[in-house]
Structure formats: C-alpha cells, structure tokens
Amino acid sequence: MADTDKNKVEEMLILGTGPAGLAAALYGARADLNPLLLTGTDIGGQAATTDRIENYPGFPDGVNGSELAELFQKNAERFGARLEYEVATEVDLSKRPFIVKSYGNEYRAKTLIISTGASPNKLNVPGEQEFRGKGVSYCATCDGWFFKDKNVAIVGGGDSALEEGIFLTRYASSVTIIHRREELRAGAILQKRALNNPKIKYIWNTVVKEIQGEKGVEKLLLENVKDGSTSEFPADGIFVFIGHNPNTEMFRNQLELDDKGYIITDQRMRTSIPGVFAAGEVCDPFFRQVITSAGMGAAAAISATRLLESESE
C-alpha cells in the first residue's frame, strides 16, 4: 500500500499510466522531483491494448503496445518515478496542496498532472451491454483470439477501426466494417492495406440498431441511414471503434472543460487552476497519437517543474 501519511506532500502527482502519464513521470523524475504516479485501472492506457504501433519513432519494425508501455515505465522508474497501483476516486483542487483520494488512501501534492485518458464510446443500442464479453468488444487485441474462424463486424471508419480490423484478420474468417458514411476517415496507408485485404468487407451508410442473440452475439439489426431500410446481418462478434469520451467526470465543476468534456489547457499544458496540468487524450480530441500524448506529458512535467522552481526562488 502507499504511504498513508496525510502530512506528506508530493512535489508532483500524476494520474494515469498511458504514454502521457509515463512521459510526465520520466521528465519529473529527471528533474529530481521523485514523482508519484497513480496507475488507475488501465496500466499503459489504450496504447497498451494495441497489437502493433508502427508510427512511434525509433521502432522501424513497429512495437507491441504493451511492450512500449513497459519500456516507458522502466525508463521512468530508472530515474526515480514511483508507481502506486491505485485508482483515484476523488479530487479537491480548491487549494494547494491539492488532495487526491483513492479507495484506501489520501494524497497531497504541490502539482498535479492529469493524464487519465479517454474511454471508448458505446453504441448505446439494445444488446450491447447484455453481450459485452459475449461477442461485444472494444479491444481487438484483447479479444481477437476468441474469434478464430468466425465472422465478425467492426463499427467505425477511423484509424482504430482499420488497425484493429486488419489485426482481426489473423483470426477471423471475415471482417465486415460497418460505417455510417460513404468513405473511411482513416489514414491513406491504413485504407490501402484494408482495401487490399481479401478478408475485409464493407457495409456503407449503415448503423447498428440492435445486437441480437441467445447466449452470445448471433446477428445485428442494421439500418441504412439514407433510405431507412433495415436488414439482419449474421455475426459471431462485434467490435466497436467510434471514438472516445474523456475520463474527466472527477474534475467537473473544478476544472474548465470544453463542451465535450475535455480538459482545456494552454500551450504549456496548464489548466484553469494554477499548479494543475493535463496531458494526453484527456485534453486532446484531435491528434490522439502515442507520440503526441507522450510529448504533452513531457511538456506538462516541464511546466510543473518550472512552476515549482519559481516558487522556491
């Protein structure tokens, strides 16, 4: 368990262990701040669930997401960052030191870096919750193996949908991408790979209205968004990749958020409260890349370090 001394004040406290949080921990450690990082439930963040990351510099052959997260962690710990396997449940940002509570402990910190990331959006259709883990998934690298020689559907048309769809072709007999538009939003290289993959098929201008089955997913009720017609599509599983929601509920009414719930920051990753910084997908609805999240985490730690230095002069 963590140090429960409520009188102890951390120089730098970081929430979240995705690329942003781990990069912040590395830079905070290099500044001799001995930063404390609360991991949350998803160690490594969304990047750790990606089978192959091919656009992170330094890995010309690509790197497994969980392996990259482990390297990030080792690098940060080497210079003195500390990881506690705790989940933050409540924060009080009304005064410094800031207070962060977990299920069993309370932490106090001079500076706080929020890198709690974002969670997958849901379809919010009948059957989705009922069949979660029984054919409904939001992570192909987590669950792809269970769909060997089966027919699966993917909802979405961005990079994540195509990356995970290509990955699923290792196992599934066929992968059908269901997209509400007439064209994909993914990058050109991914589109070319997917379009050239004989296992990948497409259903355009269509949304899923219901997920049906007995003990697991068996078929999808589809609706054409142009003419309103409906049809049934047999599937053994469905993977949903339609964007994300920032994990910011804990900070509502304390930090300034945009209309979609993302934390608003300036160029130095400063939030609306001095001493509180944010980095990664919790404040980035646009780029959402490992490299940009890591860069934001580094920037947040540098800004926090400079604030602490100015206060000690």
Pairwise CA distance, residues 199 & 170, whole Å: 9
SS3 content of the chain, % helix, strand, coil (to 5): 25, 30, 45
Q: Which two tokens stand for residue 199?
A: 């296992």
Active-site residue identified among 3, 5, 92, 142: 142
139: annotated active-site residue? yes
Pairwise CA distance, residues 166 & 240, whole Å: 14
Q: Distances in Å between the alpha carbon of 17 and those of 84, 132, 135?
A: 10, 25, 28
Pairwise CA distance, residues 30 & 76, whole Å: 8
Q: Would you call the peptide bond into 57 cis, given omega within 30 degrees of 0 as the criterion?
A: no
- The residues near 144 (Cβ < 8 Å, ≥ 6 apart) are 167, 168, 170, 171, 172
283: annotated active-site residue? no
Pairwise CA distance, residues 21 & 117, whole Å: 9
CA nearest neighbour of 113 among 290, 270, 289, 266 = 270
Per-residue DSSP letters for 138-161? S-HHHHGGGGTT-EEEEE--SHHH
Pairwise CA distance, residues 165 & 87, whole Å: 31
- H-helix or E-strand spanning residue 240: strand 237-240
Active-site residue identified among 42, 143, 159, 236: 143
Tokens 């030191």, residue located: 97
Number of CB atoms found within 10 A of residue 189's CB: 12
Active-site residues, by number, are 139, 142-143
